[in-house]
Structure 1
Amino acid sequence: MSTDYQSGREALGVRLRELRTEAGLQGKDLAERLGWQRSKVSRLENGKQTATAADLEAWAAALNVPGEAADLHSRLRGLESQQRSWRRQLATGHRAVQDRYVAEYRRTTTIRGYEATVVPGLFQTPGYARHLLIMNAELRQSPRDTDEAVNARMRRQEVLYESDKLFRVLIWEGALHALVGPTEVMAGQLDRLIGLIGLPQIEIGIVPFGARLKLSPKHGFWIFDEQRVVVETINTEFTLESTDDLALYGRVWDRLRESAVHGQQARRLIGRARASLDLG
């Protein structure tokens, strides 16, 4: 069994135990209500056994919290996808990951995103994307398929012009100044970002350095159709689908947006970053 799958199973077990203790029951009491062996309750709570959908329905019903069943089911569905290590995902290079994102964006209607360190992949130029992909391949010691990965990332951007989609993206101002490539590459990237502002399907907000913040900038994340959140760390990609996680990340995005500027103000901040480049 993969470590990723086991981690998800243990997380589900933690939530099952929380629901039981919140109801004031001992494990033996719940087992009696369910007509199960006490060992089954223990195995489920400790991630030693994978719950079935029927197990989760029965658990929620026995604790008189039927409204929790949907959340438990989403956690069960997410066992395989909740945590994907980059080492495994990039075993054959970056293209496969980019192709997966192309499919993900095509089946999504509304996306809310936030990036704190880089311009989002949806808005990247080929040159900017190339430098990021090379840096990541060197860091993770993964196979070099840079040309194929860049092309796949550019295909992802085709969705920006589909009329039935909406992209609401926030960017921390620091990402505009992070020199991930030569100054001419950065200039082209910032020009590209300015050109996207005002497109009907795209809402770009910049969180300025001097803004009064409702919370610290945090890490980047993406919310797909208010159904799942994708969070990337240095070594892992998490997919979160519980109602609690969705609500939390939704609140974080809302609070960051309260500090962001849009339209002409956003253009000025991007223009200021571009003007700071030493283009010789």
Structure 2
Amino acid sequence: MSTDFQQGRVALGARLRELRGDLTGRRLADTLGWPQSKVSKLETGRQTATETDLRAWAEATGHPETADELVALLRGVESRSRSWRRQLAAGHRPVQDTLAVEYQRSRRMRAWQPAMVVGMLQTAEYARAVFSRYADLHQSVRDIDDAVRARVRRQEELYNPARHYEIVLWEAALHAVLCPPSVMAGQLDRLSGVLGMDTVRLGIVPFGAQLDIPPANGFWMYDDRLVIVEDWHAELWLDDADTVALYSRVWETVTGPAVYGAGAHRLISRARAQLGLHGQA
């Protein structure tokens, strides 16, 4: 959990404690039908409130006029750390739709991904495999078909001449077989086709390249205003100038050894050959 996120939860908890005033925690819990431990966890920042929790708290403590203020504080906290548990409560498609807005707002997108092919370059069947595995991991709603359609629809932005994508993968992403080999072969063929696009500059960092920093997490940069970093438990949406500048330096460092054009094509072809699908196009 990020320090900023935890500090935000603690600050929100302090405001909740202030609104409770002389009302005991047990009395408030009884009024709301909650276990007393939930009141304590919310006030100490050990649990993240929902908007429903906050509106109920404002009403039960006699301060209904503060409901919007509390919700605004919560959204400020979650603007930096967006847990997958919450984001995937309604499935993967809403997450895809939210990202589509950021693509439409941006002109220059940069992506580093060491572990798998980035969503913007995924084939439908590869995306289906990825969504299925994450739905299993997070035990979330399995709206796989809707999520795949939303992802493929978002890829239409790749053909918009007003936008430019700089995408770099670690070679490991070409060998991480998260799907049947035939699907992976189609995905690698898709990457080969991307190499000729005017709006996309696709690079690959070879296994044997000298790395100045570890590959670490994947991330996207939207212009110079927003960075989205994926972790197992959450996405971090980072927009303060110092952090964006840090990720810009990370981008320049981690992608420095990347090869492009013919060099990238050789690495893709090598990965495809290792799938052992002889005789298949």
TM-score range, shorter chain: 0.7 to 0.9
C-alpha change, 1:124 and 1:11, in structure 2 (3 Å) is: farther
Distance (Å, rounded) in 2 between the aligned partners of 1:258 and 1:5: 30
Q: Secondary structure of 1:272's partner?
A: helix
Q: Is the 8 A contact 2:5 2:81 kept in 1?
A: no
In structure 1, how many angstroms separate the alpha carbons of the residues matched to 2:242 and 2:98?
Answer: 26
**What percent identity do the matched residue pairs reach?**
48
> 1:213 and 1:5 mapped to 2: Cα distance?
29
Seen in structure 2, the aligned counterparts of structure 1 residues 80 and 5 have a Cα distance that, compared at 3 Å, is: farther
Which of 133, 140, 143 is the aligned partner of 1:145? 143
Which structure 2 segments of 5+ residues have no match? 13-43, 46-73
1:158 aligns with 2:156: yes
The residue that corresponds to 2:51 in the other structure is none
**Alpha-carbon distance between aligned partners in 2 of 1:203 and 1:230, rounded to the nearest angstrom:** 20
Q: Unpaired segments of 5 or more residues in structure 1?
A: 14-45, 48-75
Deviation at 1:212, TM superposition (A): 1.2
Answer yes or no: is the 8 Å Cα contact 2:5–2:80 preserved in 1. no
Matched, 1:224 2:219: no
TM-score by length of 1: 0.73
Kept in 1, the 8 Å contact 2:114–2:217? The answer is yes
Matched letter for residue 136 of structure 1? Y
Equivalence for 1:7 = 6
The corresponding residue for 2:277 is 279
Change over 3 Å in CA distance of 1:82–1:268 after alignment to 2: same
Equivalences for 1:124-273 in 2 at 5 Å?
A: 124-273=122-271
Separation in 1, partners of 2:98, 2:208? 37
CA-to-aligned-CA distance 1:143-162 (integer Å, 9 cap, x gap): 11110000000011010000
Q: What SS does the aligned partner of 1:142 have?
A: coil
- CA positional deviation for 1:198: 2.5
Judged with a 3 Å threshold, the aligned counterparts in structure 2 of structure 1 residues 138 and 273 are, in CA distance, closer, same or farther, namely same
Cα-to-partner distance string for 1:85-123 (whole Å, 9 max, x where unaligned): 000110111111111112221111111110010100000
Alpha-carbon distance in 2 for matches of 1:125, 1:148: 14
What residue number does 1:112 align with? 110
Q: Which amino acid aligns with 1:82?
A: R
Please give the per-residue CA displacement for 1:134-192, whole angstroms capped at 9, x wherever unaligned: 00111110011110000000011010000000100110000100010000000000000
| 3-state SS, counterpart of residue 204 of structure 2 | strand
Q: CA deviation at 1:6?
A: 5.9
Q: Which stretch of the first structure deviates more once superposed, 212-221 or 134-143?
A: 212-221
Output the CA distance in 1 between the equivalents of 2:3 and 2:162: 34
- CA offset at residue 10 of structure 1? 6.3
Question: SS of the residue aligned with 2:221?
Answer: strand
Query: Residues 17-41 of structure 1, C-alpha deviation per residue, up to 9 Å, x if partnerless?
Result: xxxxxxxxxxxxxxxxxxxxxxxxx
Check whether the contact 1:131–1:181 (CA below 8 A) recurs between aligned residues: yes
Are 2:125 and 2:183, in contact at CA under 8 Å, matched by a contact in 1?
Answer: yes
Cα distance change of structure 1 residues 248 and 92 upon mapping to structure 2, 3 Å threshold: same
Counterpart residue identity of residue 8, structure 2? R
How far apart, in 2, do the equivalents of 1:207 and 1:198 lie?
A: 18
Instruction: Give the aligned residue type for 2:113.
Output: E
Task: Identify the residue that residue 92 of structure 2 maps to in structure 1.
Answer: 94
What is the aligned partner in structure 2 of residue 121 from structure 1?
119
1:86/1:128 CA distance change after superposition, 3 Å: same
Show CA shifts across 1:196-222 (max 9, x none): 012111011101000111211111011
Would you say the 8 A contact 1:78–1:239 is kept in 2? no
Structure 1's consecutive aligned runs of 4 or more residues displaced over 3 angstroms after TM superposition are 3-6, 10-13, 76-80
Preserved contact between residue 222 and residue 229 of structure 1 (Cα < 8 Å): yes
